[in-house]
Amino acid sequence: MIQDKEVYILDTSALLTYIEDEEGASDVENFLIKAEMGEVEIYISFISLTEIFYISIQEKGEIEALRRIGLIQSLMVQIVESYKDLNMMAGRLKAVNRISLADSFIAALCREYGGILVHKDPEFEKMSPSLEAYQLPYK
């Protein structure tokens, strides 16, 4: 996919950093502001919504989980659902890199959209330098 703007893919860890106001939240917020201004495009994988939802239920309860999903859906991000080519690419990435299934979908989305992955997940280091990334501070 060819883009005329810089493209960012927010990993689940970047979304949680923003939601929970952890170190690096201002970086994510700056990307979101640029998206609001039309300067960049931001995509997230459907699987990140699933991860946010279940992690939030476990840590904060279902009401907070639903609030967080609503917040994400209100942001200037495009949520990309699963489709055949993305599924195949995610499967290949998982097989070769031994990463989680969720991370394989997120990495596949980066490849498909030519995006820069915004994350703080050390698992993605296995894919460097083949995956362009903006690494947030680790916890």
pTM (global) more than 0.75: yes
Would the pLDDT of 92 be above 90? yes
Q: What are 66-81's pLDDT values in tens digits?
A: 999 999 999 999 999 9
- pLDDT at 19 exceeding the cut of 60: yes
What structural domains does the chain harbor?
6-135 (3.40.50.1010)
What's the pLDDT band for 3 if we cut at 50, 70, 90? low
Confidence of residue 53 (pLDDT cuts 50, 70, 90): very high
- Cβ atoms of 8 and 42 closer than 8 Å: yes
User: Residue 44: enclosing H or E segment and its boundaries?
Assistant: strand 40-45
Section 51-75 average pLDDT: 97
In angstroms, the CA 98 to CA 85 distance is: 19
